[in-house]
Chains A and B, each alone.
Chain A
């Protein structure tokens, strides 16, 4: 990748422009040509007035008319070529940045959320890539605008050096007056937008509480309150409106006043015979037209300033270092996982359950056993921290309760892993019978190398009792399972974990959001499906605990007692209290 050595925001933009130099050059070329056509039109009109009407011949007039039309049409053609080449340049810069960020995001893996918030990356995706795209404007349009100013100056100079001097001094002064004014409008708007954001939050708050309001009343109070806050925003808007309208009027009006001054000077020269009437019109045209490149230069300045801020965020993100993934080889076959910090061990081929008095403790144990974050756990006696990460990930799966669900058809969401993982050891084949004995086409084949067939997906869905999600595997699951209920989301996650069929499955509270009927069915099917494979569940549900080969009862993050559910119920009063809390306190 060309951008691995990202230096800084300016360096990033510069390299981007270099990579796209063909497009930049094309944009500058068409931009300049378009400006020329803009400048040429008033010149041509003045010539048409002077010469076409000057010699009194109709034929000459018609020729000049045709020429003006031709230049107009050519200008339109050049205009669109400029727009096309600049749009493509901006798009290429934006999408190239998006691609780099995306690629880097997938490489960072589990370390990513620790290092950067999703909000920052979303800002990059929504706004920054496009801002960076616009920063390319200065390369194409900026160059063209400067070129145009120079050419107009030369044309004016030929008409009259004095006029050229007036215009050339006036334009930068104008830019320096109008530029800061525009910036001030932007800032005033910013303050208003913040207040608007607060009002939006209030609206979303009331809308979110509509159910409460429908059930318990209280609507008039909320309506009155929103009305008051809306009125406050309106007053704030009025306050912004005063100066903003001045700024708007000055921004538009000052160039017109300047134009008036130039005309005055030119008219005096025309009256004293220094320039012709046609030249007077041309001066008017040039000066009026100059507003466009000057405006463009001002906006190119803004674009570049904003682009640098955006590029700073992108560069910071691209600089995030990758996790170390190489290391020692893993045990050849299924082996015991042991977490010395808590004393939890999980044997291959057995169903282990963790019941913690604080649910977070059991989750932390699973994270250590799965080598997420710092860990002192061992796998077959070898420290997990030293084992090559891809080996661990392909054989040990930590199924979180809030694991992400990505947009896609149900089939794809459940089938999950689609890339051939690193070759899993073949010695484990005997125990790798597929989910619920459905070996199907995959026996003897390392995880994920086969085409995930629908049959296997359906099987996983059945085990997770997620049949109510959809009969059609093509049903789209939205990001985060937004179009599913809480219980359905949980069961789809479970189906995905079941489908992955890892050598060791570490599942966090897999049935916390399902009803008793469903939970019983899941417990039965899951234990059958995982028979012969190692499974650890963190749970306080008696239904699941009762099916475990061994239950570790955690107090304060350490194993207090181990045994079967029944044994612990009898021996550990704390355990009994933990797992048998009732819904209503009638006892």
Chain B
């Protein structure tokens, strides 16, 4: 019953990234400018060193050397201060952009169609919103500025070495081209290898957590050896995946590092030959060699981070994937003409060809109390979701007053139908906000009183800091229904998980909420069916029986057989 959220394709990721950069053009321009100045300053050192060498070779005095050396120091200080401001701007840019991404994510999540929300694994959405968004933020803040600086530095070193001596410069830069191919080779393989490694890490942690949390089960069922086995397998898998990434690095690192040496050697030899022929000064050759060795720093930075940038771009693809979910059709502007709910020829399938609902027809009279019973997997809950407008049928119609329920906007829907399940989400917010309606306090208090929420005296109580118990959360859920004031309430095993003591209190609250409303109860206990105006029995996605409890018992069909297995109960109930 679960679907996977899509990922954004490469082109979308690129477009979105550019859009984010475009929104902060000023900061990006400032970053480039200051970085460029810092790079110039960082290049001053080796150039001045070359001058110092020339000066020394020419027999220049200490005074000349002093002037140059002070300039070297000045360059170093300037580089430091400029880098600081460049980092500062980059940091703010990263922070701002991360905030835009996470806010955009929530906006999209809130616009997801209800049917998608029902079906995506709960963890997937949360993982994208937290782990992935955080990974992107960390990259934006900590990695991109450094990589950016490194790129600017490389550009400037490249330009500087070419300006210093065009022949030597071009030669040295050509010597670096091998790294490009080596890196491509590596990145193509690295992504999957590191993903596998990450999965193995999580598995190891999970096995350990499972063994710990389930320690009692391990002992009860004598699973010790099996757990140890599973743990050792996870350890072996971790070792295997780590060795696999190590093998990749074993190819990548030495090739990349050897490539660093190549330009220096080329320039040394060719520059040396030029010097011997009198075409270059000793200082020029020395400075060119040093420049090319200076390239190693920024290159290393880029190569170290390139993997993380790649994995953040995968995170970004997951975050942007939300944009690829087809938007729900626009909410209808039609208003239901009455409170009558009708199900006509409805089919529904979670997977192609496997109909969960198969040609269901059902008309619900306003004010009726309808119980739907049937085995697990008969399609009861799915029908409940369609009736609540959470999802749309694949074929047929589910309407209220002639309008498809799923087309109603939330504000309209809550006045028509509300679904109550075992899940009562309580927001980490005040009690007032948790009632999901803007209404005078007196009205809110009345609703809470009606459902028996005697604990609810402080509407400003923060339910994140002072969480509710199970029974209290349920009362809150019922108060929400009361305030939404729908004409129809669908109950899907709403009290099934409560213990008997709490359930009895819940019953009373429920009775108050259901008063004068249409009730569709997806039955857990058969008493519900007994008390209903009409019972609908479902099997394999079809309605196989329908009628009052007494009629169905008299008909001696499947329902009667079930009721018989509850024999003896009835007498006590009616007593």
Contacts and interface: CB of A to CB of B under 8 A. Distances in A.
Interface stretch (A16-24, A49-57, A138-146): A49-57
B6 interface: no
A238 B218 CA distance: 49
B500 A418 contact: no
Nearest to B238: A95
Contacts of A244: 87, 91
A216 B210 CA distance: 37
Contact of B218 (A53, A109, A256, A397): A109
Given A125-B205, A203-B126, A253 B76 contact: yes
A106 B410 contact: no
A249 to B, nearest CB: 4
A201 B19 CA distance: 28
Contacts of B493: 515
Interface in A63-113: 64-65, 68-69, 71-73, 75-77, 79-80, 83-84, 87-88, 91, 95, 98-99, 101-103, 105-113
Contacts of B528: 582-584
Interface string A376-411: 000000000000000001100111100111111000
A317 to B, nearest CB: 10
A29 interface: no
A432 B117 CA distance: 49
Given A230-B99, A516-B526, A580-B572, A271 B265 contact: no
B562 A272 contact: no
Nearest to A546: B568
A527 to B, nearest CB: 12
A209 B410 CA distance: 14
B212 A105 contact: yes
A206 B106 CA distance: 9
Interface stretch (B157-165, B229-237, B347-355): B229-237
Interface of A is mostly: helix
22 contacts: A45-B264, A68-B268, A76-B255, A80-B253, A91-B239, A102-B232, A122-B212, A207-B129, A208-B126, A214-B114, A218-B410, A234-B96, A241-B141, A257-B76, A397-B220, A399-B220, A418-B226, A580-B573, A581-B503, A583-B521, A584-B511, A585-B507
Contacts of A583: 495, 507, 521, 523-525, 527-528, 531
Nearest to B114: A214
A586 interface: yes
A3 to B, nearest CB: 16
Interface string B124-137: 01100110001001
A289 to B, nearest CB: 10
B253 A79 contact: yes
A341 interface: no
Interface stretch (B20-28, B54-62, B334-342): B54-62
Nearest to B95: A237
Contacts of B290: 281, 284
A211 B212 contact: no
A267 interface: yes
Interface string A227-247: 100110110011011101110
Given A118-B209, A203-B130, A566 B568 contact: yes
Contacts of A563: none
Given A234-B99, A517-B375, A217 B410 contact: yes
Contacts of A101: 208
Interface stretch (A154-162, A170-178, A258-266, A294-302): A258-266
Interface string B269-305: 1001101100000100110011001000000000000
A95 B239 contact: yes
Interface in A106-128: 106-113, 116, 118, 121-122, 124-126
Given A102-B231, A417-B222, A584-B528, 19 more contacts: A65-B269, A113-B215, A125-B208, A203-B130, A206-B109, A218-B410, A223-B107, A244-B91, A245-B85, A248-B83, A248-B84, A249-B83, A249-B87, A263-B72, A359-B500, A403-B216, A406-B217, A419-B223, A585-B508
B77 interface: yes
A543 interface: yes
Contacts of A448: 222
Interface residues of A, number: 175
Contact of A520 (B109, B134, B562): B562
B30 interface: no
Given A79-B253, A397-B220, A586 B531 contact: yes
B412 to A, nearest CB: 9
Contacts of A205: 427-428, 464
Given A80-B254, A582-B507, A256 B45 contact: yes
B178 interface: no
Contact of A543 (B373, B376, B507, B566): B566
A359 B499 contact: yes
Interface residues of B, number: 173
A7 interface: no
Contacts of B79: 253, 256
Nearest to B213: A118
B447 interface: no
A419 B225 contact: yes
B235 A95 contact: yes
A380 B87 CA distance: 76
A475 interface: no
Nearest to A524: B565
Q: Which 8 A-B pairs have the closest CB atoms?
A: A72-B261, A404-B214, A253-B80, A249-B84, A76-B257, A241-B91, A125-B208, A264-B69
A494 to B, nearest CB: 13
B168 interface: no
B223 A417 contact: yes
B273 to A, nearest CB: 6
A417 B222 CA distance: 5
Contacts of A569: 568, 572
B503 A580 contact: no
Residue of A124, A222, A585 with highest tally of chain B CB at under 10 A = A585
Interface string B41-67: 010010001001101110011101110
Contacts of A77: 254
B209 A260 contact: no
B169 interface: no
Contacts of A479: 206, 209-210
B157 to A, nearest CB: 15
B554 interface: no
A114 B219 CA distance: 14
B80 A252 contact: yes
B395 interface: no
Interface in A504-544: 512-518, 520, 523-524, 540, 542-543
Contact of A260 (B72, B205, B436): B72
Contacts of B42: 256
Nearest to A234: B99
B13 interface: no
Contact of A270 (B65, B73, B223, B231): B65
Residue of A41, A252, A418, A584 with highest tally of chain B CB at under 10 A = A584
Contacts of A397: 220-221
Given A280-B52, A359-B500, A62 B223 contact: no
Given A125-B204, A516-B523, A540-B500, A580 B569 contact: yes
B413 interface: yes
A208 B88 contact: no
Interface in A30-57: 41, 45, 48-49, 52-53, 56
B321 interface: no
A461 B56 CA distance: 90
Contacts of A400: 216-217, 220
Contacts of A580: 527, 569, 572-573
Contacts of B376: 468, 485, 487-488, 514-515, 517-518
B249 A245 contact: no
Interface string B497-541: 101110110011011001000010101111110010000000000
A219 B572 contact: no
